[in-house]
């Protein structure tokens, strides 16, 4: 059985063809055009390219899955708003389904990434996994008892919008103090910039000579150089990140919780302090069976593998 998965990003349409175990047999990437018809055409083209590359006839493909950022309605296969793609209330799943002559489902990109990690990455061999991706926001997804958790209306697992500081930083969702306002790469960069403005002597300035140059790595570099201000920022960041992770573990108790996104490349520098908080605060800290915390194994492939298998696991 073969499945096609498409990760629709602002820059590229990334397609992959996988078998039922999530093994990637072919990949293709083409630039994302603007406009609904153009995007549907590009997805179709990328899907056919990937099948050709894998040497699989389109007639042997079971279904297609699309992963998209932005505001989507998976139940009706609609992209409600994806402003960077020029999409506004577009029935994208139907448009692609007609072109490819395949059943086609739409899923949000964080859920697809979680499913990809579950099938072929950090969750392989387990029955449940939660995935947290630290990027512009905090993308979350969960597979529980080998089924993608979506909530009754497919809008579940927006854990980035759980409040960890009531009345705190304003969030894009309209609330204040959301986890993602602090734990995302964007949140970390904001905290680093605030600290740099307060401390003109900090070594942070050596790694980012202007505020615009601050990225997710700056604070880790400055801590390595022994900078106290950076240590304070990182401690605050890890505390906020850990707070949300403990909340998620207490609610879901997944066998595995993996962290992805650029910041996760810090590996043990990130995981070790998080585990210390988990050992202190997790409700099940004394249980012999506890959630395994690790970094995500797949990078760009998680979205396409997960999107491809959405029709199997939803
Ligand atoms: Zn929010």
Q: How far is the CA of 137 from the centre of ligand 1 (A)?
A: 9
Instruction: Say what the pLDDT of residue 202 is.
Output: 97
Residue 214's pLDDT band (boundaries 50, 70, 90)?
very high
Q: Summarize the chain as % helix, strand, coil (round to 5).
A: 45, 25, 30
Looking at the structure, do residues 75 and 210 belong to the same domain, yes or no? Answer: no
Looking at the structure, do residues 175 and 85 belong to the same domain, yes or no? Answer: no
Looking at the structure, do residues 78 and 163 belong to the same domain, yes or no? Answer: no
Q: How far is the CA of 34 from the centre of ligand 1 (A)?
A: 28
Handedness of CA 30, 90, 82, 158 (dihedral sign): negative
CA distances from 52 to 131, 206, 212, 301, 303 (A): 31, 49, 43, 18, 20
Q: How far is the CA of 250 from the centre of ligand 1 (A)?
A: 20
From the list 186, 187, 197, the residue with the least C-alpha distance to 165 is: 187
Looking at the structure, do residues 226 and 95 belong to the same domain, yes or no? Answer: no
Looking at the structure, do residues 110 and 14 belong to the same domain, yes or no? Answer: yes
Looking at the structure, do residues 247 and 307 belong to the same domain, yes or no? Answer: no
Looking at the structure, do residues 96 and 149 belong to the same domain, yes or no? Answer: no
CA distances from 236 to 102, 215, 242, 285 (A): 48, 17, 10, 22
Q: How far is the CA of 176 from the centre of ligand 1 (A)?
A: 7
Structure confidence by residue, pLDDT tens digits, 51-85: 999 999 999 999 999 999 888 999 999 999 887 78
Q: How far is the CA of 181 from the centre of ligand 1 (A)?
A: 7
Instruction: Say what the pLDDT of residue 261 is.
Output: 93
Instruction: Say what the pLDDT of residue 231 is.
Output: 98
Whole-model pTM: value is: 0.93
Q: Rg of the chain over CA atoms, in angstroms? A: 20
Looking at the structure, do residues 59 and 96 belong to the same domain, yes or no? Answer: yes
Q: How far is the CA of 155 from the centre of ligand 1 (A)?
A: 14
Q: How far is the CA of 171 from the centre of ligand 1 (A)?
A: 5
Residue 203, CA atoms < 13 Å, CB-side half-sphere? 16
Q: What is the share, in percent, of the chain residues with pLDDT greater than 90?
A: 93
Looking at the structure, do residues 99 and 134 belong to the same domain, yes or no? Answer: no
Structure confidence by residue, pLDDT tens digits, 4-55: 999 998 899 999 999 999 999 999 999 999 999 999 999 999 999 999 999 9
The burial of 101, by beta-carbon neighbours within 10 Å (0-12 exposed, 13-18 middle, 19 or more buried), is given as exposed
Instruction: Say what the pLDDT of residue 300 is.
Output: 83
Q: How far is the CA of 238 from the centre of ligand 1 (A)?
A: 19
Domain that holds residue 242: 125-295
Please state, rounded to an integer, the average pLDDT across all residues of the chain: 96
Q: How far is the CA of 22 from the centre of ligand 1 (A)?
A: 32
Q: How far is the CA of 166 from the centre of ligand 1 (A)?
A: 11
pLDDT (mean) for 176-187: 97
Residue 226's pLDDT band (boundaries 50, 70, 90)?
very high
Distant-in-sequence, close-in-space partners of 81: CB < 8 Å, separation ≥ 6? 70, 71, 87, 88, 89
Q: How far is the CA of 59 from the centre of ligand 1 (A)?
A: 43
Q: How far is the CA of 97 from the centre of ligand 1 (A)?
A: 33
Looking at the structure, do residues 131 and 274 belong to the same domain, yes or no? Answer: yes
Copy the structure tokens of residue 50.
């990937």
Q: Which three-class secondary structure state does DSSP give residue 141?
A: strand
pLDDT (mean) for 149-153: 92
Q: How far is the CA of 175 from the centre of ligand 1 (A)?
A: 5
Contact 78, 70 (CB under 8 A): no
CATH of the domain at 51: 3.30.420.40
Contact 161, 167 (CB under 8 A): no
Contact 48, 29 (CB under 8 A): no
**Number of domains observed in the structure of the chain:** 2
Q: How far is the CA of 87 from the centre of ligand 1 (A)?
A: 22
Q: How far is the CA of 167 from the centre of ligand 1 (A)?
A: 12
Q: How far is the CA of 173 from the centre of ligand 1 (A)?
A: 4
Looking at the structure, do residues 138 and 238 belong to the same domain, yes or no? Answer: yes
Give the environment of ion ligand 1: residues with CB less than 5 A. 161, 171, 173, 175, 178
Q: How far is the CA of 200 from the centre of ligand 1 (A)?
A: 31
Looking at the structure, do residues 144 and 260 belong to the same domain, yes or no? Answer: yes
Q: How far is the CA of 64 from the centre of ligand 1 (A)?
A: 31
């Amino acid at each position: 059985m073969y499945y096609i998965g498409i990760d629709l990003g602002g820059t590229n349409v990334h397609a992959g063809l996988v078998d039922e175990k999530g093994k990637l047999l072919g990949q293709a990437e083409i630039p994302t055009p603007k406009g609904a018809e153009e995007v549907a055409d590009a997805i179709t083209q990328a899907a056919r390219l990937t099948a050709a590359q894998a040497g699989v006839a389109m007639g042997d493909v079971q279904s297609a899955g699309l992963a998209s950022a932005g505001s989507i309605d998976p139940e009706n296969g609609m992209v409600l708003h994806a402003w960077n793609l020029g999409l506004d209330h577009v029935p994208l799943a139907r448009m692609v389904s007609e072109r490819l002559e395949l059943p086609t489902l739409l899923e949000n990109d964080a859920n697809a990434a979680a499913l990809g990690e579950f099938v072929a990455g950090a969750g392989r061999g387990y029955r449940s996994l939660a995935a947290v991706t630290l990027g512009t926001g905090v993308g979350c997804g969960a597979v529980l008892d080998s089924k993608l958790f979506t909530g009754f209306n497919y809008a579940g697992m927006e854990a980035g919008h759980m409040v960890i500081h009531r009345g705190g930083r304003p969030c894009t969702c309209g609330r204040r103090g959301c986890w993602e306002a602090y734990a995302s790469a964007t949140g970390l960069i904001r905290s680093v910039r605030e600290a740099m403005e307060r401390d003109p002597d900090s070594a942070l300035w050596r790694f980012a000579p202007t505020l615009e140059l601050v990225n997710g790595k700056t604070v880790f570099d400055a801590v390595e150089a022994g900078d106290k201000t950076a240590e304070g920022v990182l401690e605050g960041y890890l505390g906020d990140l850990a707070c949300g992770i403990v909340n998620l573990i207490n609610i879901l108790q997944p066998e595995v919780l993996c962290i992805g996104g650029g910041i996760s490349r810090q590996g043990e520098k990130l995981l070790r302090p998080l585990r210390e908080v988990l050992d202190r605060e997790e409700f099940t800290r004394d249980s012999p069976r506890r959630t395994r915390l690790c970094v995500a194994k797949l990078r760009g492939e998680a979205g396409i593998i997960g999107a491809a298998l959405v029709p199997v696991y939803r």
